[in-house]
Amino acid sequence: MNILFVGDVFGRPGREALLRWLPDYVQEHAVEFVVVNGENAANGAGITSKIARRLLAGGVDVLTTGNHVWRQKELFAFLASDDRIVRPANYPSGAPGRGLTVRPAADGEEVAVINLAGELYLNSGLSPFRIVDGLVEEAQQLAETIVVDLHAEATSEKVAMGHYLDGRVTAVLGTHTHVQTSDARVLPGGTAYMTDVGMTGPRDSVIGVRTDIIVRRFTTELPQQFEVADEGPVRLNAALIATAGGRATSIHAVDVIL
């Protein structure tokens, strides 16, 4: 099976570019399952149910999120009712939604997707390492192929999680920093790993936001109203993972300008 994981979609430029690009790429590379991190799809701050539905209708199988998942309150009901979107599992148990879902791929095979948030610098409250064993055991009862999105700031936390889960899941993929790392590889136990898949959003920006705003923020040290950079090309970052029997056989970084 070929799985495509797309890095953090940022604002209208990111989501529109993704929807234009995705159908042809899926066909050309025989992709059977698509996971997209929609953390910043709504103007760079969370995702709405309308945007989520549009991405799902456009070829996405599962949406993952992260620390901005609560920014759009109208999403709460959608999180609770639709199993095609997940939020970090280590958020409070009473929060809307789920951190693990299982969905069918194009060939009918079930794929489990786990969403986690990092503890370091993101203040997720509960270390993902405290709950991930139970989530993986649950996922293993439901699917052979398991994809983990660790939405985290610290590279050390992501690298450690990759090694901790090596041989138990199909892939551990990092999101959140919006900058693609060059360490995509299959670990010794057969788990595909990448510290950060990157961002799908405006290239000429500071991780999605207008450059002048962020430069002004740093040079004046005064608060600024963030705005999505809406001019210029979009950089689309993703990872393409080939699997067999629940193990990864290869992982390739995708980095295209649209």
- Over range 163-183, report the average pLDDT: 98
- Over range 105-113, report the average pLDDT: 96
- Report yes or no on 66 lying in a domain: yes
Q: Which residues contact 117 (CB under 8 A, 6 or more apart)?
A: 66, 67, 88, 90, 91, 124, 128, 150, 151, 152
Give catalytic status of residue 178 as yes or no: no
CATH of the domain at 35: 3.60.21.10
Residue 122 confidence (pLDDT): 83
- Report yes or no on 159 lying in a domain: yes
- Report yes or no on 192 lying in a domain: yes
* Structural domain span for residue 123: 2-202+232-257
- Over range 168-179, report the average pLDDT: 98
- Report yes or no on 214 lying in a domain: no
Query: Tens digit of pLDDT for each residue in 68-97?
Result: 999 999 999 999 999 999 999 999 888 999
Mean pLDDT for the chain overall = 96
Number of domains in the chain: 1
% of the chain residues with pLDDT over 70: 100
DSSP-based three-state secondary structure for 137: helix
- Report yes or no on 210 lying in a domain: no
- CB neighbour class for 16 (10 Å; exposed up to 12, middle 13-18, buried from 19): middle
- Report yes or no on 224 lying in a domain: no
From residue 67, alpha-carbon distances to 11, 78, 141, 230 in Å are: 16, 17, 28, 23
Identified catalytic residue from 29, 68, 176, 252 = 68
Query: Tens digit of pLDDT for each residue in 175-234?
Result: 999 999 999 999 999 999 999 999 999 999 999 999 998 999 999 999 998 999 988 999
